[in-house]
Homo-oligomer: A and B are copies of this chain.
């Protein structure tokens, strides 16, 4: 009895500390959102200082004396790790943050700020050499961090774990190899039938206002709660949240290409539904977050690449689409749109890639990162290796570093270990889609009726509510009974390629 009262008291103290830290990081996120949406240009420098102050404060709180005392009280409990996820999360976050000396955190954040600026210029000038020295510095800092975090087998695992808890190089390597093989198979199978598919329906002139109207309509249909969220414009689409009661989506609009806005909004809505779906008991705690980058991406990609690229989705959406955009696009059928949004076309730029070739972009980056962090590659060779891998995997060769190894912002902000999450998201999403279809056999007819809420409810029930209280591997096992596998995705991708490119030659496993 005394023990249980003590535990309750301790939980209260932990939650109180989490509230403070969470409120500070939420404030920092609000400052970031404002910076990307409404902040006047001249405020950039001071805003960076303000955000840095908040992040330093949050780190100090998490690693300070009172957190140390809390951590000691928690670890003195028997079986704390299983009894209460908030205890486990507090210990994990406290220990991880405490492993890095403040001086390293500060040097890293300074180098990252600098690197982003240098990267911007280097990319504009298509000049990798300009970026290489700061990249070297970042890698040294990440290696130091990885060594301090610790790892069992591969130094890269320590960084991977920041974004995908529990994931290892040993697990990823065979999965990515199989994906590479399957992608090559699909690309060669569709080759003779490329002319059967056209993305022209998506490339008409679509006025900005109407794109927003249609995208917002779909977002609402998916169940995004605009009483607890917003949709704004920004240079790069993103989703951020300041609590499950305030989730912000952004998008951008290209008047001659509907993809960018519509599928951008759908993607961010997928993230947003996850953020709005955490159990309310987790509000303002460390559990009010996605389980991992991969799990978060699975929520956006399930909607963006699977559900809203079904023929059923377009049969539901087309009447509204025609109502909004008018007769000029009325000549296109449901099947035209279905094919248009499922074009497979190797290209140089990751963010513009289709769902099949996208993984090749990730595998390339993963391999390079892994070698950089293990110091088994000479940094000056990066552009050459990049271009050679692009040629081998996708038959494409960048004309310059701007559309080659400088295209992504991730390395400049120190996000080594982040990229694999995108492909993990696709693999999880395919696994979720299979089990969802088993448990909701009429899901395709629901989609055809625009009845998308049951899908959101299924996701909330099975994934969203748990937030970060379960690990990604735990979640995927609980839902599907299986561990991470590429099989579901490969099957799904082959079946769709068969259908869209009308080939019927790809063996389904």
Q: Which A residues contact B (CB, under 8 angstroms)? A: 19-20, 23-24, 26-28, 30-31, 34, 38-43, 45-47, 49-50, 53-54, 57, 225-230, 232, 242-243, 245-246, 283-284
Contact = CB atoms under 8 A, between A and B. Distances in A.
A26 B230 CA distance: 23
Contacts of A43: 228, 242-243, 245-246
Given A30-B30, A39-B246, A246-B39, A24 B46 contact: no
A14 to B, nearest CB: 16
B40 A230 contact: yes
Contacts of A30: 27, 30-31, 34
Given A19-B53, A27-B28, A49-B284, 11 more contacts: A23-B54, A38-B230, A42-B227, A42-B245, A43-B243, A43-B246, A46-B283, A46-B284, A47-B246, A50-B242, A50-B243
Contacts of A227: 40-42
A40 B284 contact: no
B24 A53 contact: yes
With most chain B CB atoms within 10 A of its CB, the pick from A54, A243, A246, A283 is A246
28 contacts: A19-B49, A20-B53, A20-B57, A23-B49, A23-B53, A23-B54, A24-B57, A27-B27, A27-B30, A27-B50, A27-B54, A30-B30, A30-B34, A34-B34, A38-B230, A40-B226, A40-B227, A40-B228, A40-B230, A42-B228, A43-B228, A43-B243, A46-B242, A46-B245, A46-B283, A47-B242, A47-B246, A49-B284
Given A23-B50, A284-B46, A40 B229 contact: yes
Nearest to A52: B23
B50 A225 contact: no
Main secondary structure of the interface of A (DSSP, over half): helix
A242 B54 CA distance: 14
A291 B57 CA distance: 29
Contacts of A232: 38
Given A20-B53, A50-B242, A57-B57, A31 B39 contact: no
A300 B49 CA distance: 29
Contacts of A225: 42
**The 5 nearest A-B residue pairs measured at CB:** A43-B246, A23-B53, A42-B228, A42-B227, A46-B243
Contact of A50 (B26, B34, B38, B53): B26
A233 B466 CA distance: 38
Contacts of A228: 40, 42-43
Contacts of A46: 242-243, 245-246, 283-284
Contacts of A49: 19, 23, 284
A254 B40 CA distance: 26
Given A34-B30, A227-B42, A24 B242 contact: no
